[in-house]
Amino acid sequence: MRVADTIRGKLEEAFRPAHLEIEDQSHLHLGHAGAPEGGESHFRVEITASVFEGKSRVERQRLVYACLAEELAGQVHALSVAARTPTETSE
């Protein structure tokens, strides 16, 4: 299974997001330390979920990082997270 699919499955199960985008940005990091040849090591996640209501930006990111701890300890070298509530249009 692709890493992006694993990330999607875990985030959907944990947060039931209204919106979820996962972008593999590994191609932007070719040749950098921690960037394996096969890619799937650098991701950007945009997630909108009601569970983030009342939480700071840092708390939201920590929730996402905790959900993906296994991937971050393994193949995922970098993860950029934009976590919003359904009432927010942008940060």
Annotate 9-53 with DSSP letters as a single string.
HHHHHHH--SEEEEEE-GGGGTTSTT--TT---EEEEEEE-GGGT
Domain for residue 21, yes or no? no
Domain for residue 87, yes or no? yes
**pLDDT digits over 25-78, tens only?**
875 655 566 555 666 778 999 999 999 999 999 999 999 999 999 999 988 888
How many structural domains is the chain composed of? Answer: 1
Which CATH number do you get for residue 80? 3.30.300.90
Domain for residue 28, yes or no? no
pLDDT exceeds 70 at position 13: yes
What is the structure's pLDDT at 19?
97
What is the structure's pLDDT at 91?
47
Query: Which residue range is the domain that position 83 belongs to?
Result: 37-91
Domain for residue 2, yes or no? no
